[in-house]
Amino acid sequence: MKKIILYGFALLLFFALPTLDANAAASTAKGDAALAQLKQRHGQFVNIVPSHVADTESEKIIIKYRVKNGQIYAPHAGNTATYKKIAQDGNLHKRLWEKFIVTVPASKRQQVTNFTVFTDGHNNDQAFVQPNDSTWKTWTLAVDYKDALDQPNNFFATLVHESAHLVSLNKKQTNNAGANCKNFTSNGVCMNKDSHLNRFYQLFWQGPIHNDWVKTGKQANQLYLKYPSSFVDQYAAASPEEDFAESFMYFVFSERPTTAKTRAEQKIAFFYKYDSMIHFRNAILTRLNSYY
């Protein structure tokens, strides 16, 4: 019990809100202004009440594209007669892809070489990214067209969530240590010591939370019920990777916290330690504000 208390106290000490330099402060203010305008026009982007439409079906790949120079090409339709019309709707596919490239700057999505449109019904998997092979050099972005059309705010937030995976699980953040890895590993891939995800894991997961996560069979709902103030939402408790991505999403679509008393607040404040993340947030919000 003493170790747990000291562990939490150490986090509180570490996460006194970081002081921003002039450039970071200006970028934060610009992002906040764009966020305020977006909220005024469209409402919240996080903590959204799910759509009343809820249906579940097995995942169906509708169409796949290759990506080059920010454009999709070489369509290859999936084997699903049910969604034949959607597979033929090239304008829809381009609009879905456009939502991603206008939200996420090119420098943060260079590894995306494939784009897939799928569906598994409303309010299930809204989008995902996955590496194309074991090298993690290139990735696929997949989006559910039903969710994109039904809840645009939530869809944009999901794209931001997926972009957090891209910036935290790329070759610059990882190494080939394999079984000799002394840092956090994601699906067998070793994170660099100074990588964003390893630092996030060491601060917020290593110790009691990780142990309880394993004991619960890695069930997000059980971990969230035990540590509700440690996560920005229930899905964040699914894994360190999802916690990082959800916390980044809240970092983008929330004002800077004025306190960092809970671990959830500390996780949002974590990103303000990095100028690159502050500028990334600003780029997302200003781009989205111009488009949406």
Distance of alpha carbon 116 from alpha carbon 118, whole angstroms: 6
Q: Check the CA dihedral 15-17-18-23 and report its sign.
A: positive
Query: Six-digit token pair at 109?
Result: 């999505």
CA atoms within 13 A on the CB side of 263: 22
Give the DSSP per-residue string, 236-288: GGG-HHHHHHHHHHHHHHSPPPS---SHHHHHHHHGGG-HHHHHHHHHHHHHH
What is the percent of the chain where pLDDT is above 70?
A: 92
pLDDT tens for residues 34-58? 999 999 999 999 987 766 666 778 8
- DSSP 8-state code for residue 184: -
pLDDT tens for residues 124-176? 889 999 999 988 999 999 999 999 998 999 999 999 999 999 999 988 999 98
> Is the pLDDT assigned to residue 192 strictly greater than 90?
yes
pTM: 0.92
Longest dimension (CA), the chain: 62
